[in-house]
Copies of this chain bind each other. A is one copy, B any other.
Amino acid sequence: MTQKIIKLTVRDIRFPTSLELHGSDAMHTDPDYSVAYVVIETDQGMRGYGLTFTVGRGTEIVVCAVEALSALVVGKSLEEIVSDFRGFYRLLSSDGQMRWIGPEKGVIQLATAAVLNSVWDLWARMEGKEPRKLISCIDFRYITDALTEQEALEILEKAEAGKQQRVDQMLKEGYPAYTTSCAWLGYSDQLLKQLCTDALSEGWTKFKVKVGADLEDDIRRCSLIRQMIGPNNTLMIDANQRWDVGEAITWVTKLAEYKPLWIEEPTCPDDILGHAAISKALAPLGIGVASGEQCHNRVMFKQFLQAEALQFIQIDSCRMGSVNENLAVLLMAHKFKVPVCPHAGGVGLCELVQHLILFDYISVSASLDDRMCEFVDHLHEHFISPVVIKNAHYMPPKDPGYSCEMLESSVQRYQYPQGEVWKQFKKQSLKD
């Protein structure tokens, strides 16, 4: 049955998270977690839902970019798209005029992610199962020096062995997760302690702490959390790009005694050679380097891998060009033997990325060594099919699709600036 996409809508949805400093870190001190939320509709009445994550101001720019891309989607049939998904990906990412304002980076790439996420959602709902012909969705342009189509195929074919066993295992145990909810930068020590105690009792064993604003604070907070979780649980630290290269090495060395598994985003997310230098300097301390949530395309990840700059690859479901581009990165990471530990949190990132990391385990890496997926316990209540966490594991989603359909009531309430929540803020601030 051919389904023609006849409509695309996009809305600017913002949650006033800055009020309580949820999500605060060394560079994003007052985020209002937000999404550009896309719904596509077919002539048969089917819908696909997609989004990209943002942190407040500027979401309207991404919305504007989605509207610009809309002309490339509306009028096409789903069949036409998925029969040459590679070509469609390139159409969106390489439009002869619009590529100038990227290419494949920043606002236009975030918008591409939102649009393509909705297409994947629609496709998955139609098929009711994991789509095939995955290789044909990947644009290998600019990465053939690291991974050819043939190599990609061989990786997938090799992972056929034991696949059903891994599916069963995931259905039973779920995919291991770590929590970032205990130690945002803006939280007090008291709150941090309380949240750690709660998390431990819920079965969490891996914890991430935000660092980078003040060294004395970091030492106190890392010491406190290591004390709370004990020597055998896992601690990660995250600087959100706060440092220069030399500074990163000095600062992290001073936190080494708390045995972090990794330092995340020590410096500029574009600095491949900088991350390589930091990796080399920290290796003797047993600390790895992780990055990726602001890594904007497969070409950047390719280089991070080629330069041995990262020991943990953090893919993101909304920063790059949707599933298409993430597939390329999963396959490259496998070839270069670097574990993938996705970035999540935000709004809807957990819901989306669980699909990718389950796919990685079942169909690519076949390994859980050094692997875990981020979890943040916020804003899931706005989704129709929120993630299910059991004993610190992501339980595989049961509903068809890409899991990012939001409650229409939430969309209405938080739409910016006309939703009820934002109208109320405006009234209050006028009163103040």
Q: Which residues of A contact B (CB under 8 A)?
A: 27-32, 54-58, 60-62, 64-65, 68, 94-110, 141-145, 241, 244-247, 267-274, 277, 294, 296-297, 299-300, 302-303, 306-307
> Does B60 contact A68, Cβ atoms closer than 8 Å?
yes
> Does A270 contact B96, Cβ atoms closer than 8 Å?
no
Chain B minimum-CB-distance residue to A14: B97
Question: When the two chains form the complex, which single residue of B27, B96, B106 contacts A106, counting CB atoms closer than 8 Å?
Answer: B106
Once the chains are docked, how many angstroms separate the CA of A108 from the CA of B99? 14
Once the chains are docked, how many angstroms separate the CA of A272 from the CA of B106? 18
Complex interface: chain B residues within 8 A of A241 (CB): 103
Question: Shortest CB–CB separation between residue A145 and chain B, in angstroms?
Answer: 4
> Taking A55-B100, A96-B28, A269-B103 as contacts, is the C-beta distance between A145 and B274 under 8 angstroms?
yes
Stoichiometry, as copies per complex, reads 2
> Does A107 contact B61, Cβ atoms closer than 8 Å?
yes
Once the chains are docked, how many angstroms separate the CA of A244 from the CA of B139? 12
> Does B106 contact A109, Cβ atoms closer than 8 Å?
yes
Chain B minimum-CB-distance residue to A277: B145
26 intermolecular pairs with C-beta atoms under 8 Å apart = A31-B96, A32-B97, A54-B101, A55-B100, A57-B97, A58-B68, A58-B97, A60-B64, A60-B68, A61-B107, A101-B107, A103-B241, A105-B105, A105-B106, A106-B107, A106-B108, A107-B108, A142-B271, A144-B244, A268-B299, A270-B296, A271-B303, A272-B303, A273-B307, A274-B299, A274-B303
> Does B142 contact A274, Cβ atoms closer than 8 Å?
yes
Complex interface: chain B residues within 8 A of A60 (CB): 64, 68
Question: Shortest CB–CB separation between residue A221 and chain B, in angstroms?
Answer: 20
Question: Shortest CB–CB separation between residue A9 and chain B, in angstroms?
Answer: 18
Which 7 A-B residue pairs are closest in the complex by CB-CB distance? Answer: A106-B106, A107-B107, A56-B97, A57-B97, A58-B98, A142-B268, A145-B245
Question: When the two chains form the complex, which single residue of B99, B110, B274 contacts A101, counting CB atoms closer than 8 Å?
Answer: B110
Chain B minimum-CB-distance residue to A32: B97
